[in-house]
């Protein structure tokens, strides 16, 4: 019999010094362009507006993803409380959806143990 253990992962992600220095350099470069935009350089204003748009769209995407994720998890919990088989057919003959892991007590499970 094999011993199945969950892999332990650190709570805080581990970043390398090289990665952090690269991130610092990229941020310094971007804020230098924003500073030039504040001084009135047209090309820097355009780049800053483009970067601001990308950041704004990423935030909107993250918010919408979070809302849909929360709604889906709430709906999945409500379906899980019913305890229906995900493969059961309703009276009309169409499949009814149920939560993953739900067990139908009416249908026996045919299993064969192979060692």
**Is a pLDDT exceeding 70 seen at residue 45?**
yes
Contacts within 8 Å (CB) and 24+ apart, 45-53: none
CA dist., res. 46 & res. 112, Å (int) = 66
Q: Does 26 map to a domain? A: yes
**Is a pLDDT exceeding 60 seen at residue 97?**
no
Q: Does 51 map to a domain? A: yes
Q: Does 48 map to a domain? A: yes
Q: 63 lies in which domain range? A: 18-82
Tell me the residue length of the chain.
Answer: 115
The pTM of this model reads: 0.53
Inter-residue contact 88 to 69 (CB < 8 Å): no
CA dist., res. 42 & res. 24, Å (int) = 25
Q: Does 3 map to a domain? A: no
Q: Does 28 map to a domain? A: yes
Q: Does 113 map to a domain? A: no
Between 30 and 76, residue with greater pLDDT:
30
The number of distinct structural domains making up the chain is: 1
Q: Does 107 map to a domain? A: no
Region 77-106 average pLDDT: 60
Q: Does 42 map to a domain? A: yes
Q: What is the pLDDT of residues 46-79, one digit of tens each?
A: 999 999 999 999 999 999 999 999 998 888 877 7
């Amino acid at each position: 019999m094999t011993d199945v253990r969950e892999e332990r992962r650190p709570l805080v992600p581990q970043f390398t010094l090289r990665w952090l220095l690269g991130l610092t350099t990229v941020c310094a470069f971007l804020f230098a362009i924003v500073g030039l935009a504040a001084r009135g350089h047209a090309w820097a204003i355009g780049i800053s507006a483009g970067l601001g748009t990308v950041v704004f769209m990423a935030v909107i995407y993250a918010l919408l993803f979070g809302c849909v994720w929360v709604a889906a998890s709430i709906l999945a919990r409500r379906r899980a409380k019913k305890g229906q088989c995900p493969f059961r057919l309703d009276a009309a003959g169409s499949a009814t959806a149920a939560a993953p892991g739900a067990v139908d007590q009416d249908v026996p499970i045919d299993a064969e143990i192979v060692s």
